[in-house]
Amino acid sequence: MSPTRSADELRRLLARLDGRGYKAYKEIAGAYRFPGFVLFVDHVQGDPFAAPSRLRVRVPQARAGFPPELYSTPSRAVGVENFLARQFAAVARATDRQRGTGHSGRIAIDAPGQEVLRRTAVTITESWVEARFTVGLPARGRTILGQQAIELLLEDVPHVVARTLHCRAHDPEVVRCHAEVNEDADWLRAQLTRHGLVAFVADGAVLPRRSGVDDRPLAEGVVVPFESPPSLRVRFHLPNGGLIEGMGIPKGVTLIVGGGYHGKSTLLRAIERGVYNHCPGDGREFVVTVPDAVKIRAEDGRSVTCVNISPFIDNLPFGQSTRHFSTTNASGSTSQAANIVEALEVGTSLLLIDEDTSATNFMIRDHRMQELIAKEHEPITPFIDKVRQLHDELGVSTVVVLGGSGDYFDVADTVIALHAYRPWDATAQAKAIAARYATGRRPEGGDRFGDMSARAPDPRSVDPSKGRREVRVKAHGTRAIQFGQATIELEAVEQLVHPAQTRAIAAALVYARHRYMDGQRSLRQIVELVMRDVDEQGLDVLDRRMVGDLAAFRPQELAAALNRLRTLVMYPFGG
């Protein structure tokens, strides 16, 4: 869309629309030249109570003035973009005032949380800085308030732009910090595999969060900065930040143990969020994890479609096969088995498990239970008997939080104990205990992990339509996606961190359905093709409407959403 009208023309148009019916606002769609930027009105809401209108501003880099070194790499650019989106959101909130009915007068942008993600909200390039935001066009009832619209679009919006999208509006060192910290975190994560690690937790990191609904760092009470045990300490020289030391978690089977309330789950939570970068001041800026790590939990009641869970569950009563297992109401153990197999199917090198959110009979079957119930009468092979095979055969490591089963000492490579949030290397002590007190249990499930099976989705079962609408999808926070007539429950997909990711995944499912689902491609192939397109063309490839509320997601969560679509039909790939 090329700019054809001036800001003064927009002023006159809004004055002329004053007092008319709300739908007359449609006339303002288009582009307008302002001093120092261009305003694009991409979509005009049809009602003051409808979703707000979508606008963009694009500031030429000659006016914005951000030095090229701040966006010279993708990592630096994303760090700066997230900073600018936060600043835009803060200034918009301070400028915000009600101007009529419904959303009238509101200015809003999709603000980042603690994680730093590639977003459509703000983009910085060598040519320009662009912000996408929403406004509620002012009205009383359904009557246009033209003068209030003039104040909103020709006074408030330029004020927000001047305060946020110009380099001179910010402390240069703060902006540089956001660029460099994000670049350092990406660099650090890239070092893990070559150093034989799956995660790194920096000394001095602050892991506890304020609450379950507030992901900012804990600021009150006793806050214990993280300090690595000497035997697990590793060091790196960051490109920008210099020397950094902390705990390296090696590949293999790692246990995190300790008493209740001593920080086990807090550490695991930080590790699971380490697949993302964090903004300066978060406390977890240099807690990084291999990017394909997947948190696994039991998920009672989820649907499972054509999944080969035979490595964990086999020999069901009445000869029911588990090589292509389906159910609409999985038990805790069945769902946990399916979650692991699905993660392996789409690709992971690290599983993260907390016994608090696991099915007990999936995690362990002790000697006494083996004596009472013979293996030929127990379909479940517990995870303890597969965890080593996962690493030795498939190269998949595991980090497990445990507080109640020392049987895992027999299969662990590393044991990290926590006392009052302070970690120590308990590997030697745990191995000595295992040697001294034999469990007497017998390994179950055979000498190999088992076979893996690829699956292909039936495109007819992935239907985003509802009623007369060909596409009807909507994200509900990070909890669910309304997909056509079905609901995809995502509460157990714990590494989704922002609603913008869920919106992007909803769009990606529609994109995948129309572009790549043909009954001939496997689930993994489809996911990889979607991720390739997003990497090469950006998130806008998913939604051509120039929306500003999408954020980057991982292939693991895209596959997880598809796997939880209750209408989904899968076939063995090639079968």
pLDDT tens-digit series, residues 430-483: 999 999 999 999 999 999 999 999 999 999 999 999 999 999 999 999 999 999
What SS3 class is residue 356? Answer: helix
CB-based burial label for 93 (10 Å; 0-12, 13-18, 19+) = middle
Mean of pLDDT values over 50-70:
97
Q: What is the pLDDT of residue 196?
A: 98
* 504 close to 550: Cβ distance less than 8 angstroms: yes
* 331 close to 274: Cβ distance less than 8 angstroms: no
Q: Return the domain boundaries, the chain.
A: 5-170, 294-436, 455-572
CA distance 508 to 481: 12
SS3 for 505-545 is HHHHHHHHHHHCCCCCCCHHHHHHHHHHHHHHHCHHHHCCC
Model confidence pLDDT, tens digit, residues 343-363:
999 999 999 999 999 999 999
Q: What is the pLDDT of residue 321?
A: 87
Q: What is the pLDDT of residue 215?
A: 93
Q: What is the pLDDT of residue 2?
A: 53
Q: What is the pLDDT of residue 13?
A: 98
Model confidence pLDDT, tens digit, residues 295-331:
999 999 999 999 999 999 998 887 788 999 999 999 9
Model confidence pLDDT, tens digit, residues 25-48:
999 999 999 999 999 999 999 988
CA distance 308 to 314: 10
Q: Report the length, in residues, of the chain.
A: 575
Mean of pLDDT values over 108-115:
97
Res. 574 pLDDT band, cuts 50 70 90: confident
Mean of pLDDT values over 379-396:
98
Model confidence pLDDT, tens digit, residues 273-283:
999 999 999 99
Alpha carbon separation from 516 to 124, 347, 398, 456, 567 (Å, rounded) = 31, 19, 32, 11, 18
The half-sphere exposure of 447 on its side-chain side, counting CA atoms within 13 A, is 0
* 145 close to 101: Cβ distance less than 8 angstroms: no
Q: Which amino acid is at 241?
A: G
Alpha-carbon torsion (60, 63, 69, 75), positive or negative:
negative
Phi and psi of 70, rounded to 5°?
-80, -15
pLDDT of 63 above 90 = yes
pLDDT of 191 above 80 = yes
Per-chain mean pLDDT for the chain: 96
Model confidence pLDDT, tens digit, residues 238-274:
999 999 999 999 999 999 999 998 999 999 999 999 9
- Contacts of 256 by beta carbon, 8 Å cutoff, 6+ apart: 264, 267, 268, 399, 400, 401, 402, 416, 418
Query: Rounded to an integer, what is the distance from CA 447 to the centroid of its chain?
Result: 35
Query: Rounded to an integer, what is the distance from CA 201 to the centroid of its chain?
Result: 19
Res. 3 pLDDT band, cuts 50 70 90: low
Across 171-313, where does the E strand assignment appear? Answer: 197-202, 209-211, 214-217, 233-238, 242-250, 253-258, 277-278, 287-289, 294-296, 304-307
Model confidence pLDDT, tens digit, residues 518-563:
999 999 999 999 999 999 999 999 999 999 999 999 999 999 999 9
User: Within a 10 A sphere around the Cβ of 438, how many other Cβ atoms?
Assistant: 9
What SS3 class is residue 86? Answer: helix
- Report strand pairing: 242-250 vs 197-202: antiparallel
Residue of 422, 416, 115 lying closest to 273 (CA atoms)? 115
Q: What is the pLDDT of residue 575?
A: 54
Model confidence pLDDT, tens digit, residues 202-244:
999 999 999 988 999 998 777 999 999 999 999 999 999 999 9
Q: What is the pLDDT of residue 96?
A: 82
Q: What is the pLDDT of residue 220?
A: 79
Mean of pLDDT values over 119-138:
97
Least confident of 148-162, 179-193, 269-283, 310-324: 310-324
Q: What is the pLDDT of residue 102?
A: 77
Q: What is the pLDDT of residue 101?
A: 80
